[in-house]
Structure 1
Amino acid sequence: MAELPHFGHRLKTLRLERGMSQAQLAGDGMSTGYLSRLESGERRATDRAITYLATQLGVDADTLTQPAGGSLSEALAIAASTPSNADMSPGILRAVDEDEQTDPAARWQALWLLDSVTDAGLEPGRLQELVELADAIGVPELRVRARVRRARRLRGRGAMDDAQTLAAQALDIAVLESLSTFDRMAALLVLISVEAESGSVDAATRHVRELEKWLPEAAPTQAAEALWTAAMVSARQGDFAAAKARLEDALALVAGQDDLSLWQRLRAAAIAAALQMTPPELDDARRWLAEVEPAVRLTGTPLQRDELLSLQAYLAFQEGRTADARRMCDELLHNENLGLSYRDRVRLLALDSQLKILEGDAETGIATLQQLGQQATESKNLALATQLWQSLATTLAKVRQV
Structure 2
Amino acid sequence: MMEQPLFGRRLKELRLARGLSQAALAADGISTGYLSRLESGMRQPTERVVAYLAKRLDVDRSAFEVQSGSTSLAQALTIVSSTDSDEAVELLVTALDHAEGGDPLLRWQALWLIARRWRRLGNKAEELACLEELDTIAEELALPELRCRVWASLARCLRSSGDVHRAIEIAGKAVRLSKEVHLSVSDVSLALMALVAAEAEEGRLPDARAHVDELVELVDGVGGPLRAEALWSAATVRFRQGDQDAARAFLERAIDGLDGRADLTLWVRLRLAAASLSLQSSPPLVDSAQERLAEAEPALRFVGTPLLNQELLTLKAHLAFEQGHYDDVRALLDELHQDELWLSYRDRIRLGVLEGRLLILEGRLDEGLAQLKQLGDEARRAANVDLVAEIWRILAEALEDARAAAPGAP
Q: Following superposition of structure 1 onto structure 2, how do residues 316-327 of structure 1 map, counting pairs within 5 Å?
A: 316-327=320-331
Distance change (3 Å), C-alpha of 1:123 and 1:229: closer
Q: CA-to-partner distance for each residue in 1:126-161, whole Å, 9 max, x for gaps?
A: 211111111211111111110111111111110111
Q: Aligned partners of 2:205, 2:148: CA distance in 1, in Å?
A: 24
Offset of residue 384 of structure 1: 2.2
Shift of 1:172: 0.6
Tell me how far apart the structure 1 counterparts of residues 239 and 396 of structure 2 sit (CA, whole Å): 19
What residue ranges of structure 1 are gaps of 5+ in the alignment?
Answer: 1-68
Q: Is the 8 A contact 1:227 1:250 kept in 2?
A: yes
8 Å Cα contact 1:181-1:217 kept in structure 2: no
Aligned: 1:393 with 2:375 = no
The letter for the 2-side match of 1:267 is R
Q: Does 1:169 align with 2:173?
A: yes
**1:79 lines up with 2:104 in the alignment:** no
Question: Which moved further from structure 2: 297-306 or 362-371?
Answer: 297-306
Alpha-carbon distance in 2 for matches of 1:114, 1:86: 10
Alignment of 1:200-219 (within 5 A): 200-219=204-223
Are 1:115 and 2:104 an aligned pair? Answer: no
2:208–2:237 contact (8 Å) kept in structure 1: yes
Aligned pair count? 332
What CA distance in whole angstroms lies between the structure 2 residues aligned with 1:87 and 1:70? Answer: 14
State the distance in 2 between where 1:394 and 1:315 align.
19
CA distance in 1, matches of 2:398, 2:312: 23
The aligned residue for residue 50 of structure 1 is none
Q: How is 1:341-352 mapped onto 2 (pairs within 5 angstroms)?
A: 341-352=344-355
| Structure 1 residues 86 and 160: alpha-carbon distance in aligned structure 2, compared to 1, 3 A threshold | closer
Alignment partner of 1:244 is 2:248: yes
1:360 to 351, 358, 363: 363
Equivalent position to 2:278, from 270, 274, 278:
274
Aligned partner (choices 190, 214, 227) of residue 223 of structure 1: 227
Matched, 1:307 2:315: no
- The alpha-carbon deviation at position 389 of structure 1 amounts to 2.1
Local SS of the residue matching 2:100:
coil
In the aligned structure 2, how far is the partner of 1:328 from the partner of 1:70?
43
- After superposition, what is the alpha-carbon deviation per residue over 1:329-368, rounded to whole angstroms, capped at 9, x for unaligned? 12112x2333222222221111111100111111111111
The question of whether the paired residues in 2 share the 8 Å contact of 1:181 and 1:218 is answered with no
**TM-score normalised according to structure 1 size:** 0.79
Please report the TM-score for the alignment, with normalisation by the length of structure 2: 0.77
Rounded to whole Å, the distance in 2 between the matches of 1:85 and 1:123 is 17
Determine whether 1:99 maps to 2:102: no
CA contact (8 A) 2:321 2:329 kept: yes
Distance in 2 separating the partners of 1:90 and 1:266: 29
Q: Is the 2:156–2:167 Cα contact (8 Å) retained in structure 1?
A: yes
SS at match of 2:219: helix
Alpha-carbon deviation of 1:298?
4.9
Aligned residue for 1:190, secondary structure, equals: helix
**What is the CA deviation profile of residues 266-319 of structure 1, one whole-angstrom value per residue up to 9, with x for unaligned ones?**
111111111111111212111101101111245411221111011000000011
Identity of aligned residues (%): 42
1-side partners of 2:333 and 2:373: how far apart?
A: 19
Deviation digits for residues 173-213 of structure 1, max 9, x if unmatched?
Answer: 10001111111110001100110011101110111221122
Q: CA RMSD in A?
A: 1.8
Please say if residues 317 and 332 of structure 2, whose CA atoms lie closer than 8 Å, have aligned partners that are also in contact: yes
